[in-house]
């Protein structure tokens, strides 16, 4: 499932292939993604020239000369670059034809993704405007996190998964960062001390950074045109390991559900 590292890897992989290209065609195979794709979109992007491929949180923004395509991969989406002779795959929902003959194909089995056309100032769009800081950026500091937690009763895990707190921390990385920070996922956010906020910021950064580094494989895949995004085989310490021994203390990891999400933690290493 694409988390921030996968989205950034996608951006890095695609950007050099888009520079200076124009859109010859956009074909919508189906429009019922999370929100319906506008039937006007193919006309809107026709002949548009790519200016930049940006990212904000898990949103990709394809900037063109008279607007921007806003894309979210949901939880099963991927974009691949393929030659025009390559056949369509199951769950390919739209494809852009570039003026060098290459195709940009969007595949998304669960269709939680989205594709919007924004004519101006995408940063002020409702889906973007209220997003919290980038986890690897300068604004995501211990003091920021600490302040954002003040007075909140919500569990710390849910708080850091809220994109208004910080973007890009999905279920897997939240569980991992809390484990490495020794913080119990159910602890009320308002109880987080300044030192533990500092620790948590560091651990969120560390787990995301490791994943981005492993994203190099995905990047090469794009260049080779085999299009398989490939999920990161990163070392997971708690996620998906309920009932297995903690790699630090050996006690069995506990599982619970928090905010409709599977949560795994070590009741000994992680304190409230």
Site residues (vs DNA, CB under 7 A): 1-3, 32, 34, 57-59, 72, 74-76, 90-91, 109-112, 126-127, 151-155, 158-159, 163, 167-168, 170-172, 189, 239, 257, 259-262
Count of C-beta atoms within a 10 Å radius of residue 114:
19
The half-sphere exposure of 70 on its side-chain side, counting CA atoms within 13 A, is 22
Tell me whether residue 98 or residue 172 sits nearer to DNA (CB atom).
Answer: 172
Given the residues 55, 56, 58, 241, the one annotated as active site: 58
Cα torsion through 49, 55, 60, 63, rounded to 10: -20
Quote the CA–CA distance of 106 and 229 in Å, as a whole number: 11
* Known catalytic membership, residue 58: yes
Tell me the closest approach of the beta carbon of residue 115 to DNA, in angstroms. 14
Tell me the closest approach of the beta carbon of residue 19 to DNA, in angstroms. 25
Tell me whether residue 82 or residue 148 sits nearer to DNA (CB atom).
Answer: 148
Tell me whether residue 133 or residue 170 sits nearer to DNA (CB atom).
Answer: 170
Quote the CA–CA distance of 219 and 229 in Å, as a whole number: 8
* Known catalytic membership, residue 6: no
Tell me the closest approach of the beta carbon of residue 79 to DNA, in angstroms. 15
Tell me the closest approach of the beta carbon of residue 111 to DNA, in angstroms. 5
Q: Which residues contact 160 (CB under 8 A, 6 or more apart)?
A: 145, 166, 169, 174, 177, 178, 200, 204
* Known catalytic membership, residue 3: yes
Instruction: Spell out the alpha helix ranges (H) of 19-98.
Output: 41-45
Tell me whether residue 23 or residue 70 sits nearer to DNA (CB atom).
Answer: 70
Tell me the closest approach of the beta carbon of residue 1 to DNA, in angstroms. 5
Q: Which residues contact 130 (CB under 8 A, 6 or more apart)?
A: 164
Q: Which of 190, 195, 193 is nearest to 165 (CA)?
A: 190
Instruction: Spell out the alpha helix ranges (H) of 53-134.
Output: 126-129
Tell me whether residue 186 or residue 198 sits nearer to DNA (CB atom).
Answer: 186
Element (H, E) at 94: strand 92-98
Instruction: Please tell me whether residue 179 adopts helix, strand or coil conformation.
Output: helix
* Known catalytic membership, residue 191: no
Given the residues 152, 247, 254, 261, the one annotated as active site: 261
**Count of H helices and E strands in the chain?**
8, 10
Tell me the closest approach of the beta carbon of residue 239 to DNA, in angstroms. 7
Tell me whether residue 24 or residue 75 sits nearer to DNA (CB atom).
Answer: 75
Let me know if 244 is exposed, middle or buried by CB neighbors in 10 A (0-12, 13-18, 19+). Answer: exposed
Report the catalytic residues: 2-3, 58, 261
């Amino acid at each position: 499932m694409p988390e921030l590292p996968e989205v950034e890897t996608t951006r890095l992989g695609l950007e050099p292939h888009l520079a200076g290209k124009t859109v010859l065609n956009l074909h919508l195979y189906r429009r019922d993604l999370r929100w319906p794709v506008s039937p006007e979109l193919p006309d809107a992007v026709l002949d548009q020239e790519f200016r930049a491929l940006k990212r904000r949180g898990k949103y990709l923004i394809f900037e063109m000369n008279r607007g921007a395509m806003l894309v979210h991969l949901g939880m099963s989406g991927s974009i691949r670059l393929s030659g025009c002779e390559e056949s369509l795959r199951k769950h390919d929902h739209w494809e852009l034809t570039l003026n060098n003959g290459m195709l940009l194909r969007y595949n998304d089995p669960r269709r939680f993704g989205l594709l919007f056309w924004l004519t101006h100032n995408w940063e002020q769009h409702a889906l973007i405007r209220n997003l919290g800081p980038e986890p690897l950026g300068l604004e995501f500091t211990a003091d920021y996190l600490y302040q954002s937690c003040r007075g909140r009763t919500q569990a710390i895990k849910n708080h850091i998964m809220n994109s208004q707190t910080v973007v890009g921390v999905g279920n897997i990385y939240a569980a991992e960062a809390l484990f490495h920070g020794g913080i119990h996922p159910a602890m009320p956010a308002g109880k987080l001390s300044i030192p533990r906020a500092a620790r948590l910021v560091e651990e969120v950064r560390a787990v995301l950074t490791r994943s981005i580094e492993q994203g190099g494989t995905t990047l090469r895949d794009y260049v080779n045109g085999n299009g398989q995004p490939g999920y990161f085989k990163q070392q997971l310490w708690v996620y998906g390991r309920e009932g297995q021994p903690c790699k630090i203390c050996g006690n069995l990891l506990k599982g619970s559900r928090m905010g409709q999400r599977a949560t795994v933690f070590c009741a000994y290493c992680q304190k409230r």
